[in-house]
Amino acid sequence: MAEELAGKVVVITGGGQGIGAATASALARLGAKVVIGDLDQVRAEKTAGELGADALPLDVTDIRGFTGFLDEVERRHGRIDVLINNAGIMPLAALEEESDATTRRQLEINVHAVIHGTREAVKRMRPRAGGHIVNVASFAGKAGFPGAATYCATKHAVVGFSEAVHLELHGSGVHVSCVMPGIVRTELASGLGEAKMFKSVRPEDVADAIVSALRKPRFDVFVPRSLGTMGKLTRLLPRRAGEAFARALKADRLLASAAHSPARAAYEARAAESGPGVTRTD
């Protein structure tokens, strides 16, 4: 039986733009009570104002502040039914060109914040025997892409972490979903070309997949769904054959070739100012 989303209290981190904003819009249209958390309060309030949602300041790298943010949501709305850990950054560079500060920013925003948000959600949802946690990872959490080694590491971490928590919560009434999109045409994907066989998707496509998973809970959420099938098939191949297949699709150059693209300059500059601090979104 499909879950009814009207009246559900949904919290979205990094919800001011991109996937977060598209998901907020989709859920608001279904009658959910949406709360957007974002460091860019001006953008968050603009998005929330257009949707009839709430917006609160949130720096996901501030662990105490993140907890206080969730406390405030509960004070205003009584509970949290859904937490969508969406905030993330994707700086691109060859590993030897990546600074330690950039590495740390990705770990703090893409991994530590997801772990903390999930833990806080579990503490609040398990006693009520109900709730849903959605962690936005990436297909990069199932494969390795040159030019984004640390980003891939963070998304592998989110996938593995989510799988473990999903098993811990079995039978508790609390669901976990892990969203693994390919290329999504948001600011984060600036300068990236198209992959052979798999076209990029819109933020709205990811939002629709999240809504579907909330209605009928499932763990694996690939966008497009064909990515899941492709991942299973390539894992059956010997390593050399799999790598040759990736090269044939030019997947090995997809992110690396965009690392120094002028089209990414604005995004990379903002991502470089992100922590502990400015959280951009997937």
User: Active-site residue 267, yes or no?
Assistant: no
Strand partners, 221: 179
CA-to-CA dists, residue 39 to 68, 72, 136, 148, 264, angstroms: 14, 16, 18, 24, 21
Report angle CA 159, 163, 169 to the nearest 5 degrees.
Answer: 140
Distance in angstroms (rounded) separating the CA atoms of residues 282 and 275: 16
Nearest to 179 by CA among 141, 221, 214: 221
Catalytic member of 66, 139, 151, 161 = 151
24 vs 69: CA distance, rounded Å: 17
Residue with tokens 């977060």: 20
Catalytic residues: 151
